[in-house]
């Protein structure tokens, strides 16, 4: 039996960093008891020694690349022990969690198809073509301001894309509210938390209060507007949606970056479209050598035509998404709430308690006014061995199924 006590960060910490495949939880979360058989303990010790030997043999450059530059915490378990000098981002004992960290835990992404790299390439390609082939001509014939403005809009758009794709969307730490009614040997009743939700009263409408649910995978009571992302396998504060083009969730901490990326991407596309049209049609108002008609102009500036087509095609999807998110932010509703409560149900009595009933106020809150908040998972803090937030604890459904079979 291993008991827990509070760490300096205020979270329950297990005294031993054992893998929690089978846990027996009979008491209050702060006094969680964990059981492990003797055989698995010796197996663990053997494994511990083995990975220690392997970690010592890793050369510096290997450790630099795999522990700092690109860090897959699940992969790290295979070749290196969880030393007490590690940081939280290096520790993940749940293989279902899909995060990969970069630059010492400063950036993150989701493992899987690297669609965010393709999105990034689609943003970079037109500006590279523009800078190599078009910028010089426009600088001399139109104005340096035309070129500088485009580069400035593009840089802003790219920075917002970068932040939306690589920053924490509002992850919540796991295993903070472990139900006391689970018992590995016997379950008299299913845990209350699994079936319960609390409705907090809200201003002006007590019927449609704010529902607070228990996450049976993360073992936490979710704050209002939080939901569990099946791809990231974590609960996200103010969850909007999981964006495959960013390879990241969009939530409390990166929604504003996402919105401004959409807006700036659309502005950048429209701007590029206009200046490319001006370049192609310039022969009508100014002197361009060997150009007297549109066909000659296309021959002279073929990449302007390419950029016109590119910017029209690239504009379509972000413009539709921007229009949709302008509508959502004007109502102060998330994509998830809209799809679950408004779009799918024809006759619903859903009341959005977060709507301020002022479009201007709602837009201001979402585009300018909401705070990014703080990172609640503290990825770069020092790892406390046995920190229960990083332990693998089976989702409650699995416990239920297992018990039903018995």
Active site residues: 243
Q: How many residues bind Zn ion (CB under 5 A)?
A: 10
**202 lies in the site for Zn ion, by CB under 5 A:** no
Task: Pick the binder of Zn ion from 100, 182, 229, 321 (CB under 5 A).
Answer: 229
**235 lies in the site for Zn ion, by CB under 5 A:** yes
Q: Which stretch binds Zn ion (CB under 5 A): 20-28, 113-121, 222-230, 371-379?
A: 222-230
For residue 237, the minimal CB distance to Zn ion (Å) is 11
Return the closest-CA partner of residue 162 out of 102, 75, 72, 240.
102
**217 lies in the site for Zn ion, by CB under 5 A:** yes
Query: Residue 384 and residue 390: Cα distance in Å, rounded?
Result: 10
Return the number of the residue (217 or 331) whose C-beta is nearest Zn ion: 217
Asked if 17 contacts 82 with a C-beta cutoff of 8 angstroms, the reply is yes
Partnered with residue 249 across adjacent β-strands are 242
Q: Please report where in the chains the tokens 């100014």 appear, as a residue.
A: 286
Query: Residue 110 and residue 99: Cα distance in Å, rounded?
Result: 5
Return the number of the residue (223 or 385) whose C-beta is nearest Zn ion: 223
For residue 348, the minimal CB distance to Zn ion (Å) is 25
Query: Residue 405 and residue 402: Cα distance in Å, rounded?
Result: 5
Q: Give the per-residue SS3 of 303-318.
A: HHHHHHHHHHHHHHHH
Nearby residues of 194 by Cβ (< 8 Å), 6 or more positions away: 179, 214, 216, 396, 400
**242 lies in the site for Zn ion, by CB under 5 A:** yes
Radius of gyration of the chain (CA): 27
Q: Which stretch binds Zn ion (CB under 5 A): 114-122, 240-248, 255-263, 379-387?
A: 240-248
**232 lies in the site for Zn ion, by CB under 5 A:** yes
Q: Please report where in the chains the tokens 């485009």 appear, as a residue.
A: 150
Query: Residue 276 and residue 305: Cα distance in Å, rounded?
Result: 7
For residue 48, the minimal CB distance to Zn ion (Å) is 29
Strand residues in 15-104 grouped as ranges (E): 70-71, 99-102
Task: Pick the binder of Zn ion from 147, 215, 246, 393 (CB under 5 A).
Answer: 215
Asked if 386 contacts 16 with a C-beta cutoff of 8 angstroms, the reply is yes
For residue 228, the minimal CB distance to Zn ion (Å) is 3
Partnered with residue 213 across adjacent β-strands are 197
**157 lies in the site for Zn ion, by CB under 5 A:** no
Q: Which stretch binds Zn ion (CB under 5 A): 187-195, 208-216, 273-281, 374-382?
A: 208-216
Compute CA distances 358 → 217, 235, 352, whole Å: 37, 29, 13
**231 lies in the site for Zn ion, by CB under 5 A:** yes
Q: Which stretch binds Zn ion (CB under 5 A): 4-12, 229-237, 306-314, 372-380?
A: 229-237
Q: Which stretch binds Zn ion (CB under 5 A): 129-137, 176-184, 214-222, 350-358?
A: 214-222
Return the number of the residue (229 or 269) whose C-beta is nearest Zn ion: 229
**164 lies in the site for Zn ion, by CB under 5 A:** no
Return the number of the residue (111 or 372) whose C-beta is nearest Zn ion: 111
Residues that bind Zn ion (CB under 5 A): 215, 217-218, 228-229, 231-232, 235, 242, 249
């Amino acid at each position: 039996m291993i008991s827990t006590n509070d760490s300096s960060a205020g979270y329950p910490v297990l005294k031993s960093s054992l893998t929690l495949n089978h846990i027996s939880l009979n008491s209050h979360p702060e006094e969680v008891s964990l059981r492990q058989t003797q055989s698995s303990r010796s197996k663990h010790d053997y494994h511990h020694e083995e990975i220690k030997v392997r970690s010592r043999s890793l050369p510096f450059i290997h450790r630099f690349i795999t522990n700092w530059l690109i860090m897959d915490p699940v992969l790290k378990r295979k070749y290196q022990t969880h030393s007490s000098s590690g940081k939280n981002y290096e520790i993940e004992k749940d293989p279902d969690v899909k995060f990969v960290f970069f630059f010492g835990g400063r950036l993150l992404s989701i493992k899987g198809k690297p669609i965010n790299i393709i999105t990034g390439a689609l943003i970079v390609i037109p500006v590279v073509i523009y800078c190599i082939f078009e910028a010089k001509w426009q600088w001399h014939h139109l104005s340096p301001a035309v070129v500088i403005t485009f580069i400035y809009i593009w840089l802003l758009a790219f920075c917002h894309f970068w932040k939306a794709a690589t920053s924490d969307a509002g992850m919540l730490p796991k295993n903070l509210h472990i139900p006391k009614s689970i018992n590995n040997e016997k379950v008299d009743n299913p845990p209350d938390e699994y079936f319960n939700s609390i409705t907090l009263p809200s201003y002006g409408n007590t019927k449609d209060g704010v529902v607070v649910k228990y996450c049976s995978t993360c073992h936490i009571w979710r704050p209002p507007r939080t939901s569990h992302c099946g791809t990231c396998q974590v609960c996200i504060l103010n969850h909007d949606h999981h964006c495959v083009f960013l390879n990241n969730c969009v939530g409390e901490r990166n929604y504003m970056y996402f919105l401004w990326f959409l807006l700036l991407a659309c502005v950048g596309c429209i701007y590029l479209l206009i200046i490319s049209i001006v370049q192609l049609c310039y022969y009508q108002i100014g002197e361009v050598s060997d150009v007297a008609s549109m066909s000659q102009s296309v021959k002279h500036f073929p990449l302007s035509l390419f950029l016109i087509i590119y910017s029209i095609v690239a504009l379509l999807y972000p413009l539709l998404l921007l229009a949709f998110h302008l509508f959502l932010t004007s109502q102060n509703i998330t994509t998830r709430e809209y799809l679950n409560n408004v779009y799918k149900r024809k006759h619903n009595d859903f009341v959005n308690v977060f709507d301020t009933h002022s479009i201007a106020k709602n837009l201001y809150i979402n585009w300018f006014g909401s705070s990014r908040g703080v990172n609640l998972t503290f990825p770069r803090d020092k790892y406390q061995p046995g920190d229960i937030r990083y332990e693998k604890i089976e989702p409650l459904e699995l416990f239920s199924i297992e018990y039903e079979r018995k």
